[in-house]
């Protein structure tokens, strides 16, 4: 037997004398035989695979197994082990440690589960024993994916097709016809990605409900970004996580890790759209930036990741209202990323230490949440100390009590629910935590602060957020959950009445919900960005599991039709259809909008962001605000389609020769070009639909010269400036700003590319945290405002003295 004596870490390590160590040694030696006898034993999992229809055994079936950690978790995080059944349909996994396991199988078009992540459960006891787990195969769904080149329509052989957020971790490759079949699927909204070398990745969320569903991808040309990651001393950094994604949305084009020389390559990125790059590495500041290939097939990139700033060290003592130590208190310290955090507990004397505290992206100090059972949590800010560790004592007050119970409309308990108090399910909810719900729907806490709230969700029921909960009362607080609602619809061709057989539905925020309907509290990114793609010969669709009686805006898109926007629709539980009539696109109205953007000297400008907006004045009548064109701020954040009048919104970036191109655009509605660049002011070109097709294909746009705003800040008068914001009061109503980061010289600023005319310049304070309903928010205030007037190309000085 080997005995290891561990020295407790930190400045509050308990004292251990020699006599105590000898006692521990004697105790360990005396009990070594017992400990060895109690060691868990290795076991196995076995069973038989049978056909559910015939009852016969099925040989040569692929059976998959993974170990489930305590508390469950997503199967996608675990290692998969595979075996095949023998001639008698038997399978066996050997040399397994005690614990819980998930088992499932695939064979041809059949699978052993009817829902995603619905596995047979197996358990190996500490003595190595287990019960057999038999698997029954039933017919599953099949997905056929075709991948074509957008420009030529030719099939792409060897394209990769990947299913995300599923229990199929395989990546399939297309054949010589650009097609691939994927079996073993379940009725589900399936997220599908397709990519190929030299092409841009495309993704779609497809509703699967039929035995066979066909999806076709048309991949536009794509490029790659190749570069290197170094630290602030210029040394290469290995193992950096780097990704490329759209400016808006949850899909990613590619993600990799840098090699030993800090090098990386990101593939499958678009040629003419802005791409969001992120890079992160433990103990380094995260990096975010937007770039574009500007029409080129490749772009180099160097990323610098400085070592992270830290808030120093802290020695913390936690005591109760009588000044007695609170052992086992939990202290949380989060940084600006979800992966950056410290979590420690106090010892028997209520003490603990944290080194190199994480700083939030806003604020000067480190934020600590202190929690303990039976006490109200506290959030404290620790300022860096110049004289060793910061020393602080946290006095916890007695916690408030709460007892609740979840029931449905029939009064039956709801047990499969998640209950988070004080936004514990969000990054800002450091006060909060999750409460366990028992089989009777009951949950409770003795550790709540005043004015606490709960966020409640359960499968099949409408979520409830920010529910105010009564504290310190004897009676049980009963919360009734409503069942979810849905959208049920029928999509037809407005010209012929025929059903539209393939279309996509996206959800957005309704600007003005009708009386009696709720406003959506939040929309998952995949609902609004990728939406749901429907294949149905009758043109019918059903989107279930939505909050009931909740207003959304709907966008329906289909190839060959104008996009249809429904500004307000309310979920319900009824059987009536929401009728959507789509206008077919007249092929004769399709034109190409292309051209170049030149600076005032006539030279091409590379990297200008160009947005082509199509607005239908007839649809403006459906907008509660009567907006006939898209405001600049919505275009900048890629939400132009939230305006009812907007039929489409395309974007591109100019190439090295200043060129841009939008093929196959309808000229039967109002067309506008909106563009801007680092030093190019925001500019809107209206009524393009009045030009001929030849003119639209050969646009030459002379960009105005931008105004430069530069100035000084008196740091004695304004010691904590956070950013300088510039807003044009002219036609564009555009705004630009510069934010100060740690280590920046805040005494000067320069902002380029401002629109000429009257400009408001505002100096804003650093963001200051404040709490509301258990959640941390940040706000900044105006420290000063100046108004200036400048002509194109001028530089204007604005000082805050």
Stretch 705-724: mean pLDDT: 94
Confidence of residue 359 (pLDDT cuts 50, 70, 90): confident
486 token code pair: 């849905």
Given a cut of 70, whether residue 727 has pLDDT beyond it is yes
SS (HEC) of 452-477: CEEEEEECCECCEEEEECCCCCCCCE
Q: Which of 244-253, 282-291, 746-755 has the lowest mean pLDDT?
A: 244-253
Contact 788, 750 (CB under 8 A): no
Distances (CA, A) of 291 to 233, 288, 294, 599, 638: 24, 10, 9, 20, 16
Q: What would the pLDDT profile of 154-166 be if each residue is shown by its tens digit?
A: 999 999 999 987 7
Stretch 229-247: mean pLDDT: 96
Encode burial over 176-191: b for 16+ CB neighbours within 10 A, e otherwise. eebbbebbbbbebbbb
Note the pLDDT of residue 427. Answer: 59
Q: Which of the 8 DSSP states describes residue 641? A: G
How many other CB atoms are found less than 10 A from the CB of residue 344?
17
Block residue for tokens 């209520």: 350
Note the pLDDT of residue 38. Answer: 55
Q: Is 27 helix (H, G, I), strand (E, B) or coil?
A: helix
Q: What would the pLDDT profile of 85-108 be if each residue is shown by its tens digit?
A: 999 999 999 999 999 999 999 999
Q: Which of 13-22, 143-152, 338-347, 617-626 has the lowest mean pLDDT?
A: 13-22
Q: What would the pLDDT profile of 383-433 be if each residue is shown by its tens digit?
A: 888 888 999 999 999 999 999 999 999 999 999 899 999 887 775 556 688
Note the pLDDT of residue 157. Answer: 98
- Report the percent of the chain where pLDDT is more than 90: 70
Note the pLDDT of residue 339. Answer: 77
* Closest of 321, 320, 229, 236 to residue 277, by C-alpha: 229
Q: Is 312 helix (H, G, I), strand (E, B) or coil?
A: coil
Block residue for tokens 């048309």: 218
* Closest of 462, 398, 317 to residue 11, by C-alpha: 317
Q: What is the DSSP string of 506-554?
A: EEEE-SSPPTTPEEPS---HHHHTT-EEEE-TT-EEEEEEE-TTEEEEE
Q: Which of 72-86, 185-199, 542-556 has the lowest mean pLDDT?
A: 72-86
Q: What would the pLDDT profile of 601-622 be if each residue is shown by its tens digit?
A: 999 999 999 999 998 877 766 6
* DSSP element (H, E) containing 122: strand 120-124
555 token code pair: 């966008």
Q: Which of 248-252, 466-470, 645-649 has the lowest mean pLDDT?
A: 248-252
Encode burial over 693-715: b for 16+ CB neighbours within 10 A, e otherwise. eeebeebebebebbbbbebebee
Between CA 119 and CA 105 the distance in angstroms is: 9
Confidence of residue 499 (pLDDT cuts 50, 70, 90): very high
Q: What would the pLDDT profile of 533-560 be if each residue is shown by its tens digit?
A: 999 999 999 999 999 999 999 999 999 9
Encode burial over 104-129: b for 16+ CB neighbours within 10 A, e otherwise. bbbbebbbbbeebbebbebebeeeee
Stretch 285-311: mean pLDDT: 92
Q: What is the DSSP string of 556-570?
A: EE-TTB--EEEEEEE
Note the pLDDT of residue 251. Answer: 78
Stretch 12-37: mean pLDDT: 42
Note the pLDDT of residue 429. Answer: 56
Q: What mean pLDDT value characterizes the chain?
A: 88
- β-bridge partners, 307: 284
If you count them, how many residues does the chain have?
801
Cα angle 271, 300, 682; round to 5? 55
Q: Phi and psi at residue 279, in whole multiples of 5°?
A: -145, 140
Given a cut of 70, whether residue 626 has pLDDT beyond it is no
Note the pLDDT of residue 428. Answer: 54
172 token code pair: 């399939």
Note the pLDDT of residue 621. Answer: 66
Helices (H) and strands (E) in the chain, counts: 5, 60
Q: What would the pLDDT profile of 568-578 be if each residue is shown by its tens digit?
A: 999 999 999 99
Q: What would the pLDDT profile of 115-161 be if each residue is shown by its tens digit?
A: 877 889 999 999 999 999 999 999 999 999 999 999 999 999 999 99
Given a cut of 50, whether residue 329 has pLDDT beyond it is yes
Q: What would the pLDDT profile of 473-487 be if each residue is shown by its tens digit?
A: 999 999 999 999 999
Note the pLDDT of residue 336. Answer: 76
Given a cut of 90, whether residue 717 has pLDDT beyond it is yes
Q: Is 162 helix (H, G, I), strand (E, B) or coil?
A: strand
Q: What is the DSSP string of 740-786?
A: --TT--TTEEEEEEEPSEEEEEEEEEPPEEEEETTEEEEE--EEEEE
* Closest of 491, 486, 487, 488 to residue 580, by C-alpha: 491
Confidence of residue 624 (pLDDT cuts 50, 70, 90): low
Between CA 788 and CA 801 the distance in angstroms is: 16
Q: What would the pLDDT profile of 647-704 be if each residue is shown by its tens digit?
A: 889 999 999 999 999 999 988 889 999 999 999 999 999 999 999 999 999 999 999 9
Given a cut of 50, whether residue 364 has pLDDT beyond it is yes
């Amino acid at each position: 037997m080997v005995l290891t004596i561990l020295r407790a870490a930190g400045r509050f390590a308990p004292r251990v004398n020699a006599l105590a160590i000898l006692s521990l040694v004697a105790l360990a030696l005396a009990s070594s035989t017992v400990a060895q006898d109690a060691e868990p034993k290795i076991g196995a999992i076995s069973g038989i695979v049978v056909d559910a229809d015939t009852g016969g055994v099925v040989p040569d079936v692929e059976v998959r197994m993974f170990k489930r950690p305590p508390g469950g978790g997503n199967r996608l995080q675990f290692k998969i082990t595979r075996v095949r059944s023998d001639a008698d349909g038997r399978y066996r996994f050997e040399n397994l440690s005690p614990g819980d396991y998930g088992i499932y199988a695939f064979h041809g078009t059949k699978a052993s589960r009817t829902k995603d992540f619905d596995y047979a459960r197996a358990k190996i006891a500490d003595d190595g024993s287990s019960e057999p787990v038999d698997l029954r195969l039933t017919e599953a769904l099949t997905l056929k994916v075709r991948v074509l080149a957008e420009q030529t329509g030719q099939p792409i052989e060897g394209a990769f097709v990947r299913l995300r957020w599923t229990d199929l971790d395989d990546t399939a490759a297309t054949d010589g016809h650009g097609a691939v079949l994927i079996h073993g699927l379940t009725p589900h909204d399936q997220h599908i990605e397709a990519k190929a070398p030299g092409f841009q990745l495309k993704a779609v969320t497809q509703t699967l409900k039929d035995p066979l569903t066909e999806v076709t991808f048309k991949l536009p040309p794509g490029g790659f970004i190749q570069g290197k990651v170094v630290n602030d001393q210029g040394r290469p950094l290995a193992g950096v996580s780097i990704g490329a994604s759209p400016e808006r949305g949850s899909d990613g084009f590619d993600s990799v890790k840098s090699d030993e020389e800090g090098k990386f390559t990101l593939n499958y990125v678009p040629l003419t759209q802005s791409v969001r790059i992120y890079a992160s590495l433990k103990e380094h500041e995260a990096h975010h930036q937007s770039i574009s290939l500007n029409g080129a097939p490749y772009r180099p990139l160097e990323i610098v990741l400085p070592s992270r700033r830290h808030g120093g060290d802290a020695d913390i003592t936690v005591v109760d209202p009588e000044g007695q130590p609170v052992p086992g208190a939990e202290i949380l310290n989060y940084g600006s990323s979800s992966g950056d955090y410290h979590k420690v507990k106090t010892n028997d004397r209520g003490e603990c230490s944290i080194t190199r505290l994480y700083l939030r992206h806003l604020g000067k100090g480190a934020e600590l949440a202190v929690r303990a059972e039976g006490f109200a949590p506290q959030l404290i800010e620790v300022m860096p100390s110049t004289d060793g560790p910061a020393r602080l004592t946290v006095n916890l007050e007695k916690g408030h009590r709460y007892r609740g119970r979840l029931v449905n409309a029939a009064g039956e308990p709801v047990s499969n629910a998640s209950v988070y108090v004080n936004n514990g399910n969000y990054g800002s909810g450091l006060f909060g935590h999750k409460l366990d719900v028992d089989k009777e729907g009951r949950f409770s806490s003795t550790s709540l602060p005043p004015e606490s709230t709960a966020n409640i969700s359960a499968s099949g029921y409408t979520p409830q957020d920010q529910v105010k909960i009564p504290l310190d009362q004897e009676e049980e607080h009963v919360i009734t959950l409503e069942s979810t609602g849905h959208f049920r619809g029928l999509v037809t061709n407005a010209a012929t009445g025929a059903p539209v057989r393939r279309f996509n539905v996206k959800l957005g925020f309704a600007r003005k919900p009708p009386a009696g309907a709720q406003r959506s509290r939040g929309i998952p990114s995949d609902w609004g960005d990728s939406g749901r793609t429907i294949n149905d010969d009758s043109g019918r669709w059903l989107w279930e599991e939505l909050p009931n009686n909740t207003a959304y805006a709907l966008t329906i898109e289909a190839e060959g039709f104008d996009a249809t926007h429904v500004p307000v629709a309310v979920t319900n539980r009824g059987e009536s259809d929401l009728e959507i009539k789509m206008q077919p696109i007249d092929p004769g109205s399709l034109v190409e909008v292309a051209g170049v953007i030149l600076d005032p000297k006539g030279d091409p400008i590379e990297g200008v962001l160009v947005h082509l907006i199509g607005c239908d004045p007839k649809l403006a009548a459906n907008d509660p605000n009567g907006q006939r064109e898209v405001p600049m701020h919505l275009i900048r954040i890629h939400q132009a389609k939230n305006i009812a009048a907007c039929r489409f919104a395309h974007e591109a970036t100019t190439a090295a020769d200043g060129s841009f191109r939008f093929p196959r655009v309808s000229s039967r509605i109002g067309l506008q070009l909106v563009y801007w660049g680092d030093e190019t002011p925001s500019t809107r070109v209206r009524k393009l639909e009045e030009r001929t097709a030849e003119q639209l294909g050969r646009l030459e746009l002379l960009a105005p010269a931008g105004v430069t705003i530069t100035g000084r800040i008196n740091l004695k008068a304004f010691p904590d400036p956070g950013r300088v914001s510039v807003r044009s009061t002219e036609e564009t109503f555009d705004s630009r700003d510069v934010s100060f980061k740690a280590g920046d010289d805040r005494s000067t600023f320069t902002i380029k590319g401002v629109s000429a005319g009257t400009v408001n310049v505002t100096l804003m304070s650093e963001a200051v945290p404040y709490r509301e309903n258990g959640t941390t928010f940040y706000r900044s205030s105006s420290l000063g405002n100046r108004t200036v007037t400048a002509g194109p190309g001028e530089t204007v000085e604005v000082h805050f003295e």
